[in-house]
Structure 1
Amino acid sequence: MNRMETDEDVWARALALNLTIHYRTSHAVTPEVVQGRWGRIINISSVNARVGRPGLTAHSTAKAGLIALTRSPARELGPHGICVNIIVPGAIQVAAGNDLPAHHRARPEDQIARQCVPRRGQPEDVAAGIAFLASPSASFITGQSLLL
């Protein structure tokens, strides 16, 4: 399926679930973290935001938009002590991957061959990135994409 074949409902749902919900969540917490002069907003994107995927135009577009929804607020909120960053996972081994249609699943050996570390990423790898960005050690890191 190409961009022109993407159903409007698929497009709207992908943007709602992968972009709009992040905006609404960030927007809801902003007044409180600005008042407290400290906070961390950590968004989660996807490697598809950077490389795209046939048949996943809406998903990839929403995830790419999430990168912009990280960088602009980082500039706006940085003066208030709030860091806004994004994790961009690649081939993370999760059970939900088994539910994807076959034409959307990449062969694990193909993914591993393209990576520097020759193994599938684990959810714990993503959690470690989030924990670091949420920590005081990352107090000068904002507007950045952590690629995993």
Structure 2
Amino acid sequence: MVERGWGRIINVSSVNARLGRPGLTAYSTAKAGILGLTPSLARELGPHGITVNTVLPGAIQVDAENALPTHPRARPEDQIARQCVPRRGQPEDVAAAIAFLANPSASFITAQSVSIDGGWMPH
């Protein structure tokens, strides 16, 4: 990317990086580390035409969530009640944000963390 003078780095974190969750301390801590990595890399790589951003998915409906223990997992209806947009997030919602940030038209967006959570964070 440095040699080409252009690039996009899009990290995937989680809203749990900001909110935390009982029973998921290690996960939340690891995802929070990405929030520090993003602006640091953006400062290092920006002069080379490379942007660095992070998306923070909220409760996205995926099959992998069924493997989580029930204790730290919120019930979907409880989660939806705390969001501004009253539906489960879909993988396509996250993919659309990533595609936007990867686009050349997003060349002036860097060092940002974008929550893809249906408005869960304000609650």
Task: With the length of structure 1 as denominator, give the TM-score of the two structures.
Answer: 0.77
Q: Which runs of 5+ in 1 are unaligned?
A: 1-32
In our comparison, the structure showing a higher alpha carbon Rg is 1
Q: Secondary structure at the match of 2:71?
A: helix
Are residues 1:112 and 2:80 paired? yes
Query: Which of 81, 87, 90 is matched with 2:55 structurally?
Result: 87
Letter in 1 for 2:24: L
Q: Which runs of 4+ in 1 moved over 3 A?
A: none
Cα distance, 1:138 vs structure 2: 0.6
Cα distance, 1:114 vs structure 2: 1.1
Provide the identity percentage.
77
Cα distance, 1:116 vs structure 2: 1.2
- Count of aligned positions: 116
Are residues 1:65 and 2:33 paired? yes
Cα distance, 1:44 vs structure 2: 0.2
Letter in 1 for 2:14: S
Q: Secondary structure at the match of 2:33?
A: helix
Name the structure 1 match of 2:9. 41
With a CA cutoff of 8 Å and minimum separation of 6, indicate the structure with the bigger relative contact order.
2
Task: With the length of structure 2 as denominator, give the TM-score of the two structures.
Answer: 0.92
Which is helix-richer, 1 or 2?
A: 1
Mapped to 2, the partners of 1:122 and 1:137 lie a distance apart of 24
Are residues 1:78 and 2:78 paired? no
Letter in 1 for 2:75: R
Cα distance, 1:56 vs structure 2: 1.0
